[in-house]
């Protein structure tokens, strides 16, 4: 779904790209399916960022309706739920952006974690909750690498 969404958005903006093969990456206790996207166009980094953020893993689908619903029912600010990060080069050739789905804000009194589960038709709510806890543990281990944290 995510690659289809991005492909459609890049095509609408006439941004030439290729999608690499899928592979698995490990982030703490959670495995992720990843695909690299390569660009052969004159698109600027800002053009690409406008397409990838917020993507469907963050906003939901269909995107416009999902964002309206999120704005209507959520009382809190999603400021750090997700974003993009990576080294940016002025010539765009050496720019590597990653969509980040787990973030944290460091505060004077501690840290605030931002993460969530992707509930879709057919989701097993218990499995989603367990995955969300694993995501939290990944972030907590960054803060406290020697501890045996659990959420």
Residue 140 has pLDDT above 80, yes or no: yes
| Banded pLDDT at 72 (limits 50, 70, 90) | very high
- Helices of type H across the chain: 2-12, 45-52, 56-59, 63-73, 125-143
Is 80 exceeded by the pLDDT of residue 65? Answer: yes
- Residue 141: pLDDT above 80? yes
pLDDT, greater one: 29 or 109: 109
Indicate whether 77 pLDDT > 80: no
State the sign of the Cα–Cα–Cα–Cα dihedral 19, 21, 22, 26.
Answer: negative
Give CA–CA dist 5/9, Å, rounded: 6
């Amino acid at each position: 779904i995510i690659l289809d969404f991005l492909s459609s958005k890049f095509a609408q903006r006439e941004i030439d790209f290729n999608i690499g093969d899928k592979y698995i990456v490990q982030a703490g206790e959670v495995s992720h399916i990843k695909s690299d996207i390569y660009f052969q166009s004159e698109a600027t980094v800002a053009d690409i960022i406008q397409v990838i953020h917020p993507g469907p893993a963050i906003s939901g689908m269909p995107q416009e309706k999902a964002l309206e619903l999120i704005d209507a029912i959520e009382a809190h600010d999603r400021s750090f739920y997700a974003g993009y990060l990576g080294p940016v080069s002025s010539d765009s050739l050496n720019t590597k952006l990653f969509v980040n789905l787990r973030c944290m804000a460091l505060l004077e009194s501690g840290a605030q974690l931002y993460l969530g589960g992707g509930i879709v038709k057919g989701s097993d709510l218990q499995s989603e909750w367990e995955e969300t806890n694993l995501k939290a543990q990944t972030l907590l281990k960054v803060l406290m690498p020697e501890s045996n944290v659990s959420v």
